Structure 1
Amino acid sequence: MKYRFLRDNLLIVIVLLSLFACNRKRVLREREIVGDVRQLSEVIPENIVERLEFIADNQDVMEDSVPVLSTAALNYFYQQTNNSPVWSSGGVLDTQGDSLFSYVMHADEAGLRPADYHSVALQRAMKRIQEDATAKKDATLWAQVDLLMTDAFMKMATHLRFGTGPRDSITLRKDSTYSDTLLANYLTAALHQHIIGATLRGQEPQYQGYQLLKSAWANFKGKYSGMQWDSLPASYTDTPAFRQLLINRLVQSGHVDTSGGHSTDTSLLRPGIKAFQKEFNMYEDGQAGKKTIQALNKSFTDWESQIAVNMDRWRKLPDSLPQRYIMVNVPGYRMELWDSGMVVVASRVIVGAPRTRTPLLNSRMTNFVMYPYWRVPYSIATKEMLPAIKKDIGYLHRKNLEVINSKGEAIDPNSVDWNKLTKNYFPYVLRQMDGIENSLGIMKFNFMNKFAVYLHDTNSRGLFNNSYRALSHGCVRVQQWDSLSMYLTKDDTRHPRDSMRKWLANGEKRQIDIQRAVPIYFRYFTAESRDGQMVWHEDIYGEDKVLLKQMGRKNHDVASRN
């Protein structure tokens, strides 16, 4: 019994010691100073191996508490170098190291966060090396710098190429990451050819829209990154006091100039608000309404976050798009037809209201119809039209609506007991006849999609003058429908332009099949460039906030509510 007792206790001690050993984090040596910098090449490899083991034991998190992109990629790369340093030699950071360090510190210019690429730890290390002669001989410090920079390159190359947000149903890029071996080979080639900066730039989208956005963001950042401004109250009772706060806020961002000593001159207020509204792409009424106050209260970090999500959306596109395609920017209320790298047709559009959103999608436009019927969607027929019909059956005549039964036949509206119909029981289809009063207008452009949406003209063309144009039930209304149809058939001998004009003038109902189906993309960009300056769009569907959360970022507005 005594032997068994001792044996059992010994086993318990062994198990506890094993658990303690497994859970104990590897401790890195703090310093290893060599006598001569020429000895660093002999000592740094040992420290690199030690740090690679530390990362593996520390759940893929480096000593600066920032996760690595891939421990396997780091190990594979350093196996190829025999664990030798690649960013420094003889106690000096080489030119490729300088290049990468600069890229990391300016990662925000590409919509990325420098801190994700070890900027804090690298800055601290560079400061020590510059200010402390002993630090230049510290093998542990140079090993740390080497691993930080290698991971920074791999992570930046991946994020610049694929983005940091998740893939979704409309992401056109097939891959979402590089393999470990490819990343290591990229870095090896870039180091050997001395093209670290060029290699990273080559990972970014090469589209004109992205490059112009990046340039405009640099201008905006240069103007506003160093500024601080006060927040304004969402509601107030003391109007004179609020006006003074508003003047102060506009002075802080340079939209009101009180250098002449007129800091309380309220006559400066209206032009100052209009100047702000113009710069931030808002309706220029000179009034500090709710949306203007919200924009005035956004911090620079908020604008920075908005840039980040929009650059990430560019990275979800493939390396190139077809020669001819249609792009609809939903929050920008704009449609563009691109051909051979140029915008050949541009148009204002009206998109879905927040409750009936225009979906984001990829498709191909195959045809368009002149003087189309409108088959009223079930939800609109039952929720919006049925109550009006119950009040006055003459509504059907005024709206040029036919009632179609289950056999596809038009029936007399007076033969229907409308009071018995509900949103759960409506065995009819309402069809709006063609003509100038048709809600689809004169033309409808068709493309396959599961949402039953399309581009079309409208009988409410005055709405294109609105600055806020999220007004439809989900389809996209196009102001320049005529120009779009003519360009789509410009090389099609089956549909000469003269014939098209004649059919339109005569009100003929025709379906025109497009000779070469045109790819069409509905996207969501709330930040663009125009004439070298930023153009901001309202986040009408709240998609920016969703993506920010998915990317692990929070803007000021979101954070303030949590």
Structure 2
Amino acid sequence: MQLIGGLLLAIVLPLAVAGQELGNGVPPPVSASAAAPEILPAHLLALLTDTVATPTHRLLRWYDVRATRAFYTSRTYAAAWSAGPLPSATGRTALALLLAAEDYGLQPANYHAPALQALATLLEEPDTTARHQVRQARFEGLLTDGLLQFARHLRRGQLRECSPSPLESADSLFEPTAWLARALAAPDFAPALLRCQPPQREYQLLQVALARWRQHPAGPDSLARRRRAQQLALTLERWRWQAIPAADSDYVLVNLPAYALEVVRGGQVRQTHRLVIGKPESPTPTLSSQLKVFTLSPEWRVPYSIATKELLPRLRYSPRYAARHNYAIYDAKGQLVDAHDVDWWEVRPDRFAYTIRQNPGVGNALGSVIFRFVNPYEVYLHATYEMQDFKRPYRALGHGCMRLEHPMRLVAYLLGPDSAQAQNHALAGREKAPQPRRFTLSRPMRLHVRYATCAVVAGQLRFYPDVYKRDEELRRQLFGPAPVEVPARRPVRSPGFAPAEKVLVAKGRAPAP
């Protein structure tokens, strides 16, 4: 109430000098019947074209005054959110949407919501003076400006509002002004405006989960619940940056913090696989690409970094390591060499002139299949023979690529009726010296690798560890420094004070969320 009272005062005081705001004096007092629609456009025009910086303009810090002006210019400055002297039903709906911005991971104060609420209260009061039209013009302008910013943030996110989202293309950039005008003309304003959000199931389910999470009454764990709400909000922010277009009805989604791969078709999860991802020092990147080809019984061409940092020390210890693990070593001329013929202690990592390949078969680091896809990071999705890793709760163990559990299930899905050939080859791949076989998909499948520390899975909201420690910086950018929980003072002893309750209050503990 103090905030609303302060805003009311901040609005009323400038009205005493409204003549200065509107340039050439204040129109004389008018009767209620004379508060006609033709008066408001003049006030709006003056408000949106007055660029004089005076103390009375403290409430008029526009986010995009040009876009707001363009919105009203296309309407010849007719009111958009008013019905006579009062806010219209659509105007009230629009204000309610901004006041509920936290349901979308946003903050109402960023869209003039508190000031608009105070103005709406003032507009309810009977007033036949010019002050009413000034208030009404401010309500109109601020509401439009807030809605434009709200739509922009829903589409692109708060921290990248000037960068097109994946839902846009060079010839179809998001125009908040046009979007707001269409939403205003729609039969149902709120759903029409909210359709600017990412359409994919992951975002939509999480947004609903956040709205429900906020409905929970505050209690002793209010700080923990607030932190979880922020975690949901920052995950929605990431989804806006990396939204999945509605045209991608079939796709493979990797969520790195969940160590999981999902096959999604028609809004339904068809398969789920466990993953092993890159270590924090060699993290798996987020990306979008296509699964077009895969190879059964693949040969592994060992990357230079792994050859020098991991295999070279083992070869120095025992050259037999190469034969035991089915490695073939080639010199700079491409000639096959025997590991025992090389003095590995004389080989320097910065002058490593050898190429190492691991032959197909049991024990190959790529397992039975590799899915290659175009990306600038040289990472891929592959199987593994180290099956025990999938039983670990912490699975950020790799060099950046993703290891897949039950890969042949994914192969069967991608190939459809042609999967029998792949299954037969996989069985033959258990032989001592299998040969690689490449398959090209007749219908490529979109692949999206994302980083979401919370998600709705099988109808349940789940939170995951921030394995790459990315949430806290994003949380700080969106919400400022993290709140510090101050322990309550130790209470004075009293006969009826239960010991367990005393510990809870004294140490400021709260149940885990």
Pairing partner for 1:223 from 216, 224, 234: 216
1:350/1:420 Cα in 2 relative to 1: closer, same or farther (>3 Å)? same
Q: Contact 1:333–1:348 (CA<8 Å) still a contact in 2?
A: yes
1:114/1:320 Cα in 2 relative to 1: closer, same or farther (>3 Å)? same
Per-residue deviation, 1:127: 3.1
1:113/1:170 Cα in 2 relative to 1: closer, same or farther (>3 Å)? closer
Q: How does 1:2-151 map to 2 (within 5 A)?
A: 28=21, 34-40=29-35, 41-54=37-50, 56-57=51-52, 63-64=58-59, 66-68=61-63, 70-130=64-124, 132-134=125-127, 138-151=132-145
SS at match of 2:21: coil
Using the TM superposition, name which of 143-152 and 450-459 deviates more. 450-459
**For structure 2, which runs of at least 5 residues remain unmatched after alignment?**
1-18, 487-513
Q: Contact 1:325–1:339 (CA<8 Å) still a contact in 2?
A: yes
* Partner in structure 2 of residue 404 of structure 1: 330
* Partner in structure 2 of residue 312 of structure 1: 237
1:211/1:141 Cα in 2 relative to 1: closer, same or farther (>3 Å)? same
* Partner in structure 1 of residue 180 of structure 2: 187
Give CA deviations for 1:164-185 in whole Å, capped at 9, x if unaligned: 23389996333499879x5444
Give CA deviations for 1:255-280 in whole Å, capped at 9, x if unaligned: xxxxxxxxxxxxxxxxxxxxxxxxxx
Q: Contact 1:128–1:135 (CA<8 Å) still a contact in 2?
A: no
1:532/1:322 Cα in 2 relative to 1: closer, same or farther (>3 Å)? closer
1:62/1:113 Cα in 2 relative to 1: closer, same or farther (>3 Å)? farther
Measure the CA separation in 2 of the matches of 1:179 and 1:501. Answer: 46
Pairing partner for 2:227 from 298, 302, 312: 302
1:194/1:39 Cα in 2 relative to 1: closer, same or farther (>3 Å)? farther
Pairing partner for 1:420 from 327, 346, 353: 346
Pairing partner for 2:455 from 503, 523, 528: 528
* Partner in structure 1 of residue 465 of structure 2: 538
1:187/1:519 Cα in 2 relative to 1: closer, same or farther (>3 Å)? closer
Measure the CA separation in 2 of the matches of 1:338 and 1:167. Answer: 28
Give CA deviations for 1:82-130 in whole Å, capped at 9, x if unaligned: 3332211332211001110111011111122211111121122233344
* Partner in structure 2 of residue 210 of structure 1: 203
Per-residue deviation, 1:354: 0.7
Which residue type is aligned with residue 121 of structure 2? K
Q: Contact 1:446–1:454 (CA<8 Å) still a contact in 2?
A: yes
Measure the CA separation in 1 of the matches of 2:65 and 2:398. Answer: 50
**For structure 1, which runs of at least 5 residues remain unmatched after alignment?**
1-25, 230-251, 254-297
TM-score normalised by length of structure 2: 0.80
SS at match of 2:349: coil
Per-residue deviation, 1:188: 3.6
SS at match of 1:424: helix
Q: Contact 2:360–2:436 (CA<8 Å) still a contact in 1?
A: no
Measure the CA separation in 2 of the matches of 1:503 and 1:62. Answer: 78
Which residue type is aligned with residue 463 of structure 1? D
Q: Contact 2:253–2:447 (CA<8 Å) still a contact in 1?
A: yes
Which residue type is aligned with residue 328 of structure 1? V
Measure the CA separation in 1 of the matches of 2:166 and 2:173. Answer: 19
1:77/1:306 Cα in 2 relative to 1: closer, same or farther (>3 Å)? same
Q: Contact 1:31–1:141 (CA<8 Å) still a contact in 2?
A: no
Q: Contact 1:328–1:522 (CA<8 Å) still a contact in 2?
A: yes
Give CA deviations for 1:311-370 in whole Å, capped at 9, x if unaligned: 233333253143432211112211112234432221011110110011122222232222
Q: Contact 1:367–1:511 (CA<8 Å) still a contact in 2?
A: no
Per-residue deviation, 1:555: 5.5
Note if 1:509 corresponds to 2:416.
no
1:427/1:95 Cα in 2 relative to 1: closer, same or farther (>3 Å)? same
SS at match of 1:203: coil
Per-residue deviation, 1:384: 2.3
SS at match of 2:97: helix
Which residue type is aligned with residue 290 of structure 2? R
Give CA deviations for 1:280-323 in whole Å, capped at 9, x if unaligned: xxxxxxxxxxxxxxxxxx64443333222322333332531434
Q: Contact 1:160–1:200 (CA<8 Å) still a contact in 2?
A: no
Note if 1:158 corresponds to 2:152.
yes
Q: Contact 2:123–2:136 (CA<8 Å) still a contact in 1?
A: no
1:398/1:27 Cα in 2 relative to 1: closer, same or farther (>3 Å)? farther
* Partner in structure 1 of residue 378 of structure 2: 452
Note if 1:437 corresponds to 2:431.
no
SS at match of 2:166: coil
Measure the CA separation in 1 of the matches of 2:392 and 2:414. Answer: 27
Measure the CA separation in 2 of the matches of 1:46 and 1:209. Answer: 46
1:189/1:438 Cα in 2 relative to 1: closer, same or farther (>3 Å)? closer
Per-residue deviation, 1:187: 3.4
Note if 1:478 corresponds to 2:435.
no
Per-residue deviation, 1:35: 4.1
SS at match of 1:138: helix
Per-residue deviation, 1:436: 2.0
Using the TM superposition, name which of 185-194 and 91-100 deviates more. 185-194
> What is the aligned-residue identity percentage?
27
Measure the CA separation in 1 of the matches of 2:136 and 2:155. Answer: 28
Give CA deviations for 1:235-272 in whole Å, capped at 9, x if unaligned: xxxxxxxxxxxxxxxxx46xxxxxxxxxxxxxxxxxxx
Measure the CA separation in 1 of the matches of 2:59 and 2:163. Answer: 35
